[in-house]
Structure 1
Amino acid sequence: MVSASCLGDISVKHPYSVYVVPQFSATEIHTAWAPLLEKVGIQTKQCYNLIIPGTIPEFEKAIVAGKADYAYMNPYHEVMAYRAQKYMPLLADGSKMLSGIVVVKSDSPIKTLADLRNATIAFPAPNAFGASLLIRATLSKAGIPFRAEFVKSHSNVYRSVIFGDYQAGGGIQATLQHERPEVKEHLRVVYTTGAYKPHPIAVNPRISLSDASAFTDAILGLKQDPSGRQLLEGIQISDPVKVSYQKDYQSLESLGLSKFVVLDAN
């Protein structure tokens, strides 16, 4: 687990923790999130500790246990976090929706989901929403047998497919587009799931309404200048909008994904 201490007003004695789901390497996440949290901290006169768990399951255990004050999580993590600790979503990107994708090597003979019968498929983690849960549920409901392997991050999925370790892999468009051109050019999307509201930043209910509102307003305010918009692009929330659990995420409870959730994954 990687931590960056006190990104904001260093006079604050009780900094807030901000956990970020590790879709990318710790270095990439720190590069994107640290300057944003520092700027938000200066504006709110608060201090934020950036916490980057080593794996997605470690992140999940932290939010289910209520360790995070704020957390950037996938949509189904929000369902899990709300059920366990009543984490409330504050903000999400309003410019796009989230869809899961299945990728194969660009020269693979696989063309459709049906071609994945008995294939070994790489996923970042059991509970990654678009990149794992939606895809595994779709394959199971379609009666297509497959073997799942979990390789810890989206970046690992894409590279393992390119290297031929697996016949296909699960991801999302945002992380695929984040990859370098030499990675993207060797991959082809063969299936795209339905679209849903993307990853929210959520708050633990123990945080005061005034502090949560200040945090929200500071991030919304970053849209007003070019440097702020660049920071938002870095964390993949280019157009932050306010969201709520009831309006934006509660409907995910009806997708029947709970039987595919694994809470004790290593």
Structure 2
Amino acid sequence: MIEILRRYSLITLLLIFNCAVLADTPSLETPANKTKPAQVSKNDSESEETVFMKWWKLLLDLPLLSGSNKQSNDAYEPSFSAQSKSKATKYVIGIHPLHNPKRLFEVYGPIVDFINANISEADFTLEASRNYEEFDKRLYSGYFDFAMPNPYQTINSLKHGYRVFGKMSDDNDFRGIILVRRDSGINTIADLKGKTVSYPAPTALAATMMPQYYLHTHGIDINLDIENRYVGSQESSIINVLRGHVAAGATWPVPWKTFSKENPQLAEQLEVKWQTEPLQNNGWVVRKDIPTALADKFATLLFNLDQHAQGREMLARIPVTRFEPANDDSYGPVQAFIATFIKTVRPLE
């Protein structure tokens, strides 16, 4: 568009100049020659014609000159072809409900945009699920092409046509934490008996199953001694404690760190009363029918985010140090934990 405006601006200037030449030639009248016709010599006529021809030749050559200049400029300007992306194969990326949908897009949207910008033959779309149940249905039906499930969903996805290719690092952060209000008067786990505890969802591993297993191993029968309230998201579990709707709330360090950073005065009213042992962090899976070359490109971009400033900024939003390679066997300890949980705490649907 800028090139077109520049070209027509030059054309306009040439036309104005041309008109000025035409206007100036016959209008030089004085009282002395006003009564007789102006005399134009053959040489003057030829000179005027020569001027016109030169200017019109330049005018006709202008598109060629402009095209040459555009070719030079293009070497320095990046271009993104909407047409090429529209013809690219489309792939859906699903992230399990670590956050509410709005927050999830804020955190993971830039990563998907970065991958899109670096893989021209594919068009990736990030989709958020309203809750764990919706995410589970999409994952286990094979709807997602790439996904980042929690570890429990990761091992379940292996039965539905997926394979593990990566995971979040910082396994030490993948643990359950139980929050209470500082003014709650709750000091021991026994103080929770007869009260309500909030969790994101029944299938949340770090924020539900691991805290419930911790309570079980510390003298609480979660099926009889307390009321378990599943509130839909990590943020909701935290807010329920803050507002006093529940006596305690379970989550895990990543959303708690984010909440504390963004709401320091509110977070100050809460404290982490108990925490569990860690397990392997969230996984990255890809459907087995996705071309290996594409999955490898995707993985390489993901695993190298910590190697450049733009990527480190994206990772800091999560927050996580990096994503790292993994495979199906990486989640053996998670499978063992799930087996114990089902046997001793409660069944999983």
Are the structure 2 counterparts of residues 23 and 94 from structure 1 closer, same or farther at C-alpha, using a change threshold of 3 Å? Answer: closer
Question: Of 75, 100, 103, which aligns to 2:176?
Answer: 100
Q: Please state whether the residue corresponding to 1:159 is helix, strand or coil.
A: helix
Question: 1:19-77, CA deviations, whole angstroms, 9 ceiling, x for partnerless residues?
Answer: 11122121111112122111111212221111101111111121122211111121111
Aligned to 1:4: none
Give the one of 297, 304, 308 matched to 1:225: 308
User: Using a 3 Å threshold, how does the CA distance of structure 1 residues 79 and 112 change in structure 2: closer, same or farther?
Assistant: farther
Superposed CA RMSD in Å reads 2.0
Q: Which amino acid aligns with 1:36?
A: I
Pairing of 1:55-204 with structure 2 (within 5 A): 55-94=131-170, 96-144=172-220, 145-179=225-259, 180-204=263-287
Does the 8 Å CA contact 2:164/2:326 hold for their aligned counterparts? no
- Select 1:22's aligned residue among 97, 108, 112: 97
Structure 1 195/121 Cα, relative in aligned 2: closer, same or farther at 3 Å?
same
SS of corresponding position for 1:201: strand
Of 34, 43, 51 in structure 1, the residue corresponding to residue 109 of structure 2 is 34
Task: Point out which structure has higher relative CO (alpha carbons under 8 A, 6+ apart).
Answer: 1
Once residues 286 and 320 of structure 2 are traced to their aligned partners in structure 1, the CA distance between those partners, rounded to angstroms, is 16
Structure 1 counterpart of 2:270, one-letter code: L
| Residues 92, 243 of structure 1: 8 Å contact kept | no
Where does structure 1 lack aligned partners over 5 or more consecutive residues?
Answer: 1-6
Greater mean alpha carbon deviation, residues 151-160 or residues 223-232 = 223-232
Partner Cα separation in structure 2 for residue 130 and residue 33 of structure 1:
20
Mapped contact 1:99–1:192 kept (Cα < 8 A): yes
User: Which residue identity lines up with residue 168 of structure 1 in the other structure?
Assistant: A
Alignment of 1:240-251 (within 5 A): 240-246=323-329, 248-251=330-333
1:206-229, Cα deviation, whole Å (9 max, x unpaired): 212111110010112222221111
The structure 2 residue matched to 1:210, chosen from 293, 297, 312, is: 293
1:239 to 305, 322, 325: 322
Give the aligned residue type for 1:41.
N
Aligned twin of 2:336: 254
Structure number with bigger Rg? 2
State the identity %: 22
The match for 1:3 is: none
Amino acid at match of 1:35: P
User: Cα 1:24–1:142, aligned 2, differ >3 Å: closer, same or farther?
Assistant: same
Would you say the 8 A contact 1:87–1:203 is kept in 2? Answer: yes
Partner SS, residue 183 of structure 1: helix
Deviations 1:174-232 (A, max 9, x none): 11001021332121111100011211222121212111110010112222221111112
Q: How many residues align?
A: 255
Q: Give the partner amino acid of 1:123.
A: Y
Q: CA deviation at 1:262?
A: 4.1
CA distance in 2, matches of 1:65, 1:170: 29
User: TM-score scaled to structure 2, two decimals?
Assistant: 0.68
More strand by share: 1
Look up the SS of the partner of 2:86 in the other structure.
Answer: coil
TM-score by length of 1: 0.88
Structure 1 position 94, deviation (Å): 4.2
Question: What CA distance in whole angstroms lies between the structure 2 residues aligned with 1:172 and 1:56?
Answer: 16
Distance 1:218 1:123, change over 3 A: same
